[in-house]
Amino acid sequence: MSEAQAIRYDPIAVSNESTVVSEYVPDKQNASSYQSEAQLETEFIRLLESQAYEYLRITSEADLIANLRRQLETLNNVTFSEGEWEQFFSSQLASSNEGIAEKTRRIQEDHIQLLRRDDGSTKNIALLDKSNIHNNRVQVINQYEVAEGNGGATRTNRYDVTVLVNGLPMVHIELKRRGVDLREAFNQINRYQRDSFWAGSGLFEYVQLFVISNGTLTKYYSNTIRKQRLEESKKGSAKSKTSNSFEFTSWWADAHNKPIQDLTAFAKTFFAKHSLLNVLTKYCVLTTEGMLLVMRPYQIVATERILQRIAISTNYKTLGTIDAGGYVWHTTGSGKTLTSFKTAQLATRIPSVDKVLFVVDRKDLDFQTMREYDRFEKGAANSNQSTAELKKQLENPSARIVVTTIQKLSKFVDRHESHAVYNDHTVIIFDECHRSQFGDMHQAITRAFKRYNLFGFTGTPIFASNASTGGKPQLKTTEQAFGDKLHTYTIVDAITDKNVLPFRIDYVNTVKMTPGLTEQQVSAIDAERALLDSERIRQIVAYIREHFDQKTKRSEHYTTAGKRMQGFNSLFATASIDAAKAYYMEFKSQQESVPASERLKVGIIYSYAANEELVDGLLDEEEFETDGLSMDARSFLDACISDYNEMFEVSYDSASEGFQNYYKDLTRRLRERDLDLVIVVNMFLTGFDATTLNTLWVDKNLRSHGLIQAYSRTNRILNSVKTYGNIVSFRDLEQATNDAIALFGNKDAKGVVLLKPYQDYFSEYLERLNELKTQFPPGEHIVGEQAEREFVELWGAITRLRNILTSFDDFQHQDVLEDRQEQDYRARYLDIYNERRKLLDAERATINDDLVFEIELIKQVEINVDYILMLVQQHRDRFGDGSDTEIKESIARSIDASPSLRNKKDLIEAFIESVNTAEEVDQQWAEFISKRREEELEHIIAAENLRPQATKAFVMAALRDGAVATSGTAITGILPPVSRFSPDGGHGETKQRVIERLSAFVARFFGLG
């Protein structure tokens, strides 16, 4: 039991060696003669030896085991006795009851095994040194033979080249001579697994990675594909198309995504010792289902660049600034969730990092991300259902990775002006960092946290060319919000590498126009209403039914996750809830006479979204809230869920928790191909992955990042049957598609909206202002529709310019627009806007779609109650309590110019009439509002027969939060008793009416003391 003397390599200085080479420039090829497979193998081994691999001539299992013993003794600085080695080898390394799954788990998760010594003591034996990879020894063997019958082998096999790490076979390389199909090497490995890898002690089942090459082309993949291919062959489905086939092999590449395919180049990069050992010890993830995922080069580059940025910002003390962060642009479908998980996991191992926050922007993505994170490592991350739960996790040092929504994190910041976590070193990672995260919530979070790194992952960044016209001028693009672009992997890269499928797009014309009439002119006659024509809907549903089997390949069979499948399934993206309803009913109608077994299984899902229409290319977010839906939309959804319940013998509804469970069940059935088609508005068009989905039917205007996000639901790799993502568009989206692919395929797209010099903006501002005053003098009425349109466009341009100019210090003293004039013009603008909205709802045909209202900008210069009270105080200081029409008119103009004060106008004017010199204005205001609030609430309670005490408590909570809680039991607890004999007890209609009245009440009194 003596301890072996071994040389230990403790680092003196550690460099951040990149796993993926920054740029690979291949050597000039001089060889022109024929190269046999043996010559290819000899040259490959020579290259490995030149990189400090030790070459061994091992031809028997006894030699392999003896070498393994020596390597483990050296690594662990120990000498085994014969008894210790026999016991350790047979029970800890080569148990006859273990296979690929157990041995893979040992390498990935349990690489330190317990040795029981002869004297009864114990010692830890590491199979790998994962903390210092350079302590691991790499060796290479070739032509290792397993004879038929040897250890149970069913056939004689000789393996080309195997890399041993600390004596264990970890990487196997199968070579074919140049000119031979690469798939032959892939199939050869499958034969080895079937015939002999398991033979004898089964040490070759420790192989984690496979490399296949014909000299010209070289790829790598994990042992999972081999294992599952074997299981499928045992079930008799080896000849069928499966999800564990050649399609899941990967190219290696440099950091610029240039594939490294030649075996010589592959040997110098992938097989560089530090690269190979990093891949084996850091960049593999064993899922809870036993799937070994090996990361692709672009995923590794992104992870390491984030980790390097964290280290640099810590050393250079730039935490809490944009220089400490950055963003990763990896196209949709390229595995961003795996990259972000590995990044979060490795970031927690950095000593200075206290917490990693992974922030998503929707509740459904919160659920999906946690599902994926739990799949990668059960319990690694912590999710939360409320802000209170989030607070506990932020305060818990053992909760290292926390997944939450931006809404919950923003609410936590609002409620806690100061908190200890703000001073912790926090790494904040935003998933899908679209524009919804560029506004007030983004700023509130970055103001609260002091020592943070802020990173964003996105498949569709916001660039200068697709940035919005509104918003904060310094926070328009992804780069401006998050910092430098750390790595790029575009849709072009992904399709080239075959990591996602290409799109096949059919444009189906459904509207024939009168000669001379353009599509732009059609939009002026309420395009959406025209496109909802019942005959058009009937024809589209008939078209989908006729072409469904062809598009979803229902004649093809394949196996995935052990389940035999026939073809794929699809989503149908519609323009609105009304459209979704119409299409669902039409499917139901057309399939009524079809035998049940031949009907398409159609599902539907939608919920409340503030805007169903696309804004700046962004698909609006549908939350799990259904209470905001109209009575008609909610009732229809309930009826559809009833159909679903009947179809699958389940029980869900549209109530808050029931709807979330419906969403989860629908998600699962869509992934498992139990549903043929799901009709959606915006849900599932971003962030949803289902490999069995191959077709998107589109009757919806899409563009920019919204278009790419929606299309990308169809192009996940599954097997050799699924060759592309089908898009069938019933609208003319060709130009929008070309523009989006051009933008998101260009890795050099401009990432910053550059501000021009101040004088350029100011000159244009003066010019537009002069034009405004000439055409529309202050105080003069604007007559005619054309004049109103011109005024709206001109004032919108001026507002945009003012918004930009306010970011320059010079403008504060040079603005030539008087306050009163600005108020008058804004009030006029809002008045026209409101009138136009009424016209739009009543008669869409009179409104042209090119009229753009800059309401987003108006809200930035909103006048609040404090400003009004200041005016009242100034009025009283100057004139006492005498009547002064000028100040009252000024206050009236201020109210008219503010969207949020218009519903409070009568309150403010009544208060002004009642104010006196006896008390302070603030005190009088508080007393006045308290009285009016109580009076108006009592009126609502009496009119709706509500429970008084419960209602008052409910409203106080709503006034505190700024919104009425439309879901949960609190709202139901204030409603009056209802008859048990009416269909729904009259409950639904009463609830909706009460919600509307209380929402208006809260909007009216919120923030008024």
The SS3 assignment for 548 reads: helix
Instruction: Identify which has the larger pLDDT, 511 or 660.
Output: 660
Q: Are residues 183 and 320 in the same domain?
A: no
Distances (CA, A) of 419 to 320, 412, 963: 16, 10, 25
Compute the chain's Rg from CA coordinates.
33
Number of other residues whose CB lies within 10 A of the CB of residue 829: 23
Mean pLDDT to the nearest integer, 154-163: 84
Assigned token pair, 141? 């063997």
Mean pLDDT to the nearest integer, 451-479: 75
Please report, for the domain that includes residue 145, its CATH number: 3.90.1570.50
Instruction: Supply the pLDDT for residue 855.
Output: 31
Give the range among 179-193, 326-340, 850-864 with minimum mean pLDDT: 850-864
CA angle 619, 622, 627 (to 5 degrees): 150
- Report d(CA 391, CA 409) in Å as an integer: 9
The residue among 489, 519, 535 that closes a domain is: 489
- Report d(CA 223, CA 229) in Å as an integer: 10
Question: Per residue in 399-415, pLDDT tens?
Answer: 888 888 888 888 898 88
Instruction: Identify which has the larger pLDDT, 365 or 443.
Output: 443
Instruction: Identify which has the larger pLDDT, 841 or 30.
Output: 30
Give the range among 446-450, 581-585, 802-806 with minimum mean pLDDT: 802-806
Q: Are residues 311 and 275 in the same domain?
A: no
Mean pLDDT to the nearest integer, 282-304: 90
Q: Do residues 600 and 590 touch, judged by C-beta distance below 8 A?
A: no
* pLDDT value at 773 more than 60: yes
Number of other residues whose CB lies within 10 A of the CB of residue 181: 11
Beta-bridge partners for 569:
693
- Report d(CA 812, CA 99) in Å as an integer: 74
Using left for φ > 0, alpha for ψ between -120 and 50, and beta otherwise, residue 179 falls in left
Assigned token pair, 776? 């529309």
Mean pLDDT to the nearest integer, 43-65: 93
Q: Are residues 832 and 940 in the same domain?
A: no
Instruction: Supply the pLDDT for residue 69.
Output: 96
Mean pLDDT to the nearest integer, 103-108: 91
Instruction: Supply the pLDDT for residue 861.
Output: 29
**Most confident residue range from 406-415, 692-701, 774-783:** 692-701
Number of other residues whose CB lies within 10 A of the CB of residue 617: 23
Upper half-sphere CA count for residue 621 (Cβ side, 13 Å) = 18
Residue 239 pLDDT level (bands cut at 50, 70, 90): very low
Do the domain assignments include residue 26?
A: no
Q: Are residues 330 and 419 in the same domain?
A: yes
- Report d(CA 453, CA 233) in Å as an integer: 48
Percent of the chain with pLDDT over 90: 27
Q: Are residues 448 and 524 in the same domain?
A: no
Instruction: Supply the pLDDT for residue 740.
Output: 77
User: According to DSSP H, which parts of 784-864 are helical?
Assistant: 785-805, 819-842, 855-858
- 629 secondary structure, DSSP code: S
Amino acid code (one letter) for 897? A
Mean pLDDT to the nearest integer, 370-399: 77
Question: Per residue in 852-877, pLDDT tens?
Answer: 343 333 322 233 455 456 655 655 56
Q: Are residues 209 and 93 in the same domain?
A: yes
Q: Do residues 360 and 369 touch, judged by C-beta distance below 8 A?
A: yes
Amino acid code (one letter) for 363? K
Instruction: Identify which has the larger pLDDT, 828 or 395.
Output: 395
Residue 50 pLDDT level (bands cut at 50, 70, 90): very high
Q: Do residues 220 and 283 touch, judged by C-beta distance below 8 A?
A: no
* pLDDT value at 43 more than 90: yes
Q: Do residues 197 and 233 touch, judged by C-beta distance below 8 A?
A: no
Instruction: Supply the pLDDT for residue 181.
Output: 82
Closest residue by Cα to residue 675 from 534, 548, 835, 568: 568
Assigned token pair, 226? 């081999």
**Most confident residue range from 172-176, 808-812, 874-878:** 172-176
Q: What is the DSSP string of 724-750?
A: SEEEEESS--HHHHHHHHHHHT-TT--
Residue 54 pLDDT level (bands cut at 50, 70, 90): very high
Q: Are residues 267 and 395 in the same domain?
A: no
Instruction: Identify which has the larger pLDDT, 391 or 556.
Output: 391
Instruction: Supply the pLDDT for residue 243.
Output: 40
Distances (CA, A) of 826 to 107, 779, 857: 68, 12, 11
Do the domain assignments include residue 22?
A: no
Using left for φ > 0, alpha for ψ between -120 and 50, and beta otherwise, residue 931 falls in alpha
Mean pLDDT to the nearest integer, 770-774: 89
Do the domain assignments include residue 43?
A: yes
The set of residues, in sequence order, having a beta carbon less than 8 Å from that of 981 and lying 6+ positions away, is none
Please report, for the domain that includes residue 701, its CATH number: 3.40.50.300
Give the dihedral sign, CA 417/420/425/427. Answer: negative
Question: Per residue in 469-498, pLDDT tens?
Answer: 555 556 568 888 888 999 999 887 887 777
Angle between helices 758-775 and 785-805 (to 10 degrees): 150
Do the domain assignments include residue 904?
A: no
Mean pLDDT to the nearest integer, 319-325: 92
Give the range among 63-72, 804-813, 905-914 with minimum mean pLDDT: 804-813
The residue among 294, 328, 343 that closes a domain is: 294
Do the domain assignments include residue 888?
A: no
Average pLDDT, the chain: 79
* φ, ψ dihedrals at 727, nearest 5°: -120, 120
- How many domains does one find in the chain? 5
Q: Are residues 239 and 145 in the same domain?
A: yes
The residue among 276, 294, 312 that closes a domain is: 294
Do the domain assignments include residue 519?
A: yes
Do the domain assignments include residue 789?
A: yes
Q: Are residues 604 and 709 in the same domain?
A: yes
Instruction: Supply the pLDDT for residue 986.
Output: 56
Q: Are residues 699 and 782 in the same domain?
A: no
Q: Are residues 641 and 726 in the same domain?
A: yes
Residue 272 pLDDT level (bands cut at 50, 70, 90): very high
Closest residue by Cα to residue 502 from 745, 846, 149, 183: 745
Q: What's the pTM value of the predicted model, to 2 decimals?
A: 0.69
* pLDDT value at 362 more than 70: no
Tokens 């639901």, located at residue: 713
Q: Are residues 635 and 777 in the same domain?
A: no
Give the range among 163-172, 687-696, 783-792, 912-921 with minimum mean pLDDT: 912-921
Do the domain assignments include residue 6?
A: no
Q: Do residues 111 and 127 touch, judged by C-beta distance below 8 A?
A: yes
Mean pLDDT to the nearest integer, 973-990: 66
Number of other residues whose CB lies within 10 A of the CB of residue 122: 9
Give the structural domain span for 1000.
919-1008
Beta-bridge partners for 115:
123
The set of residues, in sequence order, having a beta carbon less than 8 Å from that of 117 and lying 6+ positions away, is 1, 84, 123
Mean pLDDT to the nearest integer, 142-163: 79
The SS3 assignment for 453 reads: strand
Question: Per residue in 715-771, pLDDT tens?
Answer: 887 776 777 788 888 888 888 887 777 777 766 554 444 456 678 778 888 998 899
